[in-house]
A and B are shown apart, each in its own frame.
Chain A
Amino acid sequence: MMCRFVWWPRIVAKAGLLGLFFVLSLALQAQDDGFKAVPILTGSTAYFTRVTAGQYQDAPSVSPLLLLPLGDKWLIEAKGSYSDTFSKNAQGDYNGTISYGMAYGQIDYIANRYMTLVAGRFTTPFNIYGERLAPNWIRALQPNPLTSPVTSGSALGGMVRGGVPATDSVNLTYALYFSSNNTHHLLATDRSTGGRIGFFLPHQRLEIGASFQQVLQADRPHSSGIFFEWQSDRAPVTVRSEYARSSGTKGSGYWIESVYRLNQISALRRLELVGRGQQFFAASNLSAATIKKLGALGKDTNEGDFGMNYYLRSDIRASASYGRQFVLGRNANLWTIGMTYRFLMPMLPQGGAR
């Protein structure tokens, strides 16, 4: 009996090692359109100074993302995050707070042209901000939209998703998921289900869609949302917006953002200007204790932000923004300045060769 307990971990370790070698050898040979896809380490690093209602914070961060293709149809994606936020206290001293976690760790299987199966920990497919715009080298303004915490940001379970050309001028995109409850302090998720459907008109460069999420635990709130994104064909302008509403205590809100790249002026072609307006409406009939627990989600808030991004290169960007937040009895100025760098490197020495 004793021997069995001693031997099991060794057997599992050996099997794991063999599996790893098998997977790595598949990764070496992955192919797309005749190109053998290689494992890649990418991600971003950033340094931002924020002044929120007179409170200084310096926040260096790094978010590495490992992409490991296996064969023609598989992809393992693992993204971590690490940041150290230094806050200046009343005495002028800085206190550091470290935070780290796994944004997602998922395995994707391209089942056919229209469907991809995903398993693991993934970003909840609700509207577009969380999945597409959240990385700090992509987001046009560094402060999060007020509606971000209305739904759970991550899920642990399975998802089916894909894009289908419905007609010559309309692509249908969809995502359906199920998540289990997980209470691990780094990987916490809710038991929930939901999905998103979108219609993308490539000629008009317009995407509109809707999302739904049903939490299957505690007071079982549901959330719904709509979004759109449009990019002009004639001018380098992008307009995007989201609306999200929760039936529980998390309220509702919307934001609308416009990004203008000054391409037409040669001296300023690397600069883009951003404006965003947003409103958040707290749920009604909240008790004082609930309002305290909800924090920012407990009060009606209006916010306007203006910012600019200057692309030193396509992967290095300097950003600055100013925002004014209007909350009953506690208006605040939000200043942000900093830089982002998106890195990308192959994990194999022959990464550039065919």
Chain B
Amino acid sequence: MKIRFVLMAFLVAGAMSLGLVANASNGGSKDASKDTPAAASAAGADQSTDNQTAAQKENMHLEGERRFRSNCARCHAAPPKFAPRMMATILRHMRVRAAITDQDMHLILRYMTE
């Protein structure tokens, strides 16, 4: 009986580890690709680059707001900005339910998590 219990506990721990490892391998490459340009730009940044980046951010913000208004506000009142991890789930749900395009989803997610 004790051996069975240990075996079950081992299997459960194994299953959880596999799940975590599977996702760590997916997320790891994404994080690395995200960090590298950020580090590079920080190292070699000058004033004009900073201005360009600020302008790009502002454009992304405006575009995200526009997409939010045209997609989400058609059906329901604007919700408050939730925590980023919750917004990621909500946007995935709305992508399916309201047929929001991939590009719109990412822009709205960025806008709602700024």
A contact set with B: CB distance below 8 Å? 14, 17-19, 21-26, 28-40, 42, 67, 69, 71-72, 75, 77, 108, 110, 113-114, 116, 118, 131-133, 137-138, 161-165, 171, 173-175, 198, 202-203, 205, 207, 229, 231, 238, 311, 314-315, 317, 344, 346, 350-354
Contact A351 B24 (CB under 8 A): no
Nearest residue (CB) in B for A17 is: B12
Mark B4-36 against chain A: 1 for CB-CB distance below 8 A, else 0: 000010011001111110111011001100100
Contact B74 A75 (CB under 8 A): no
Interfacial residues of chain B within 33-47, with CB under 8 A of chain A in the complex:
34
**Alpha-carbon separation in the docked complex, A326 to B8 (Å):** 65
Contact B100 A163 (CB under 8 A): yes
**Alpha-carbon separation in the docked complex, A138 to B78 (Å):** 11
Contact A22 B82 (CB under 8 A): no
Does B93 touch A at the CB level, under 8 Å? Answer: yes
Contact A37 B89 (CB under 8 A): yes
**Alpha-carbon separation in the docked complex, A35 to B87 (Å):** 9
From the candidates A110, A163, A203, A205, name the one contacting B104 in the complex (CB within 8 A).
Answer: A163
Contacts of A317 in B (CB 8 A): 77
Contacts of B1 in A (CB 8 A): none
Contact A69 B89 (CB under 8 A): yes
**Alpha-carbon separation in the docked complex, A39 to B66 (Å):** 27
Contacts of A165 in B (CB 8 A): 101, 103
The binding surface of chain B is classed by DSSP as helix
Contact B102 A113 (CB under 8 A): yes
Contact B74 A21 (CB under 8 A): no
Contact B26 A38 (CB under 8 A): no
**Alpha-carbon separation in the docked complex, A252 to B87 (Å):** 39
From the candidates A31, A114, A311, name the one contacting B102 in the complex (CB within 8 A).
Answer: A114
Chain B residues touching A, range: 35 or more
Contacts of A231 in B (CB 8 A): 70, 73-74
Does B3 touch A at the CB level, under 8 Å? Answer: no
**Alpha-carbon separation in the docked complex, A344 to B66 (Å):** 24
From the candidates B20, B101, B110, name the one contacting A29 in the complex (CB within 8 A).
Answer: B20
Contacts of A108 in B (CB 8 A): 92, 96
The minimal Cβ–Cβ distance linking A14 to chain B, given in whole angstroms, is 7
Q: What are 8 sample pairs from A and B whose C-beta atoms fall under 8 A apart?
A: A29-B24, A30-B88, A30-B89, A40-B89, A116-B96, A175-B99, A314-B77, A352-B83
Contact B86 A33 (CB under 8 A): no
**Alpha-carbon separation in the docked complex, A34 to B29 (Å):** 11
**Alpha-carbon separation in the docked complex, A171 to B73 (Å):** 17
Nearest residue (CB) in B for A38 is: B85
Contact B74 A29 (CB under 8 A): no
Contact A23 B19 (CB under 8 A): yes
**Contacts A18-B12, A40-B89 given: A238-B74 contact, CB under 8 Å?**
yes
Contacts of B98 in A (CB 8 A): 131-132
Does B61 touch A at the CB level, under 8 Å? Answer: no
The minimal Cβ–Cβ distance linking A165 to chain B, given in whole angstroms, is 5
**Contacts A18-B11, A67-B93, A205-B74 given: A72-B85 contact, CB under 8 Å?**
no
From the candidates A32, A71, A137, A351, name the one contacting B22 in the complex (CB within 8 A).
Answer: A71
The minimal Cβ–Cβ distance linking B114 to chain A, given in whole angstroms, is 12
Contact A162 B99 (CB under 8 A): yes
Contacts of A17 in B (CB 8 A): 12
Does B90 touch A at the CB level, under 8 Å? Answer: yes
